[in-house]
Amino acid sequence: MFYNTNKRSISKEKGKFLIIPKSNCDDDPPFIVYLVTVSHSQWKERSAIRQTWGKDLRPNGKRTVAYFLLGYNTKYQSMILNESLYYNDIIQKNFTDTYHNLTLKVMMGIEWVHEFCPSVSFVMKTDSDMFVNTYYLTELLSQKNWTQLYTGFIKNKEKPIRYKLSKWYLTKEEYPQSTFPPFCSGTGYVFSGDLTGKIIAVSKHIPILKLEDVYIGLCFQKLNVTPVELNSAQPFHARKVEFSICNFHKLVTSHQVSPVELLIYWKTLEENSKEECWKKMEEFRWA
C-alpha cells in the first residue's frame, strides 16, 4: 500500500520496510552512517560511491558505511532487489519515489538507523552527486565528544520561494512564515546519533514539507538544537569545488561531482597523502 503524501505528519506515513540491509551494528557499531538519497536509475552513482567514500572504511579504526535510500518504482524493483542481495546496502519503503517525497525518504533512513543501528555515533545525510571526504570528516568529529550535534553548510535567514514554476515553490498554506529557521543544506549535513529518536518523535508534530533539509531544520528548531560550524574553515561545500589534492584533503563535501570524477578524485587522494601534499607545498614555497 502506498503512502498518501497529502497526510499532514510523518507519524501518519509509517509503513513497513520493503528492503533492509544487515547492518552488523550490534557487533561492529559504525562511527558514521551515510544515508544517501538516490533514484533507481542512478546505478553508476551508486557504483562509484561503493568504490570510494561509501565503502566500509575504518579511518583511524572507526567504521564508516553508506546506505542508499529508495522509494518504490515498479520498473526497477527487480533490479533493486538483486542489487540489494549482492551489496546489502539499500533501504526501501513502499512510497512513490519522487522529489516531492524526499522528506519521506530521509525520515525513512533516520527511522532505520534508530531501529536497526541505534549505537551509531553520527549520521550524515547526503546526495548521489557528492564527494565526501570520510577521512577528514572522521578526524573532525573525533576532536571532541559531540552531543546534540547538527552541522553542515549552514543557511541562515533563507526565504521560501513563492514563484509557482520553481522546483522549490512553497505556498503560504504549506509554509506561512516569511523565513526559514537556520538549517543545513541537504547536500550534506551531519547530526549525532543521540538525536535520531528525538527527530522521529518531534516529527509527529510537524507537518510534512517537501524541502527535506528545511524540514529537518524545523525538527531541530523544535528540539532547540542550533546548527554549528564544525570547523572555523568551512569544510562543507554546497557547490562544486575545483579539484586540487591539498584542497580536497581539507574539505568534507563538494557538490555536482559525476561518477567518473568521483573515482578519479578518490584515487588521486589515496595516492597522495595529506602529509605529502603539505611537504610539496613547502618545497614549492622555498624553491
- The verdict on residue 21 lying in a domain is yes
Domain count, the chain: 1
| E strand or H helix that includes residue 35 | strand 32-37
Q: How does residue 276 score in pLDDT terms, banded at 50, 70 and 90? A: confident
Whether 265 maps to a domain, the answer reads: no
**156 in any annotated domain:** yes
Residue 166 domain flag: yes
- Residue 217 C-beta-side C-alpha neighbours within 13 Å: 26
pTM to 2 decimal places: 0.91
Could you give phi then psi for residue 216, rounded to 5 degrees? -65, -40
CATH code: domain of residue 83 = 3.90.550
Q: How far apart are CA 52 and CA 160, in angstroms?
A: 35
Q: What is the per-residue DSSP string for 156-174?
A: -S---B--TTSTTB--TTT
Quick: pLDDT tens for 111-141.
999 999 999 999 999 999 999 999 999 999 9
Q: Which amino acid is at 205?
A: H
pLDDT the model gives residue 76: 96
Q: Which residues form the domain of 180?
A: 10-234
Lookup result for grid cell 498518501: 4
Q: Is residue 273 part of a domain?
A: no
- Confidence band, pLDDT 50/70/90 cuts, at residue 282: low
DSSP letter for 40, please.
T
Residue 224 lies in a domain: yes
Position 281 pLDDT exceeds 70: no
Distance CA 178, CA 10 (A): 23
From 37, 28, 93, select the one nearest 65 (Cα to Cα).
Answer: 28
Is 255 within the bounds of a domain? no
pLDDT value at position 203?
96
Q: Note whether residue 42 is domain-resident.
A: yes
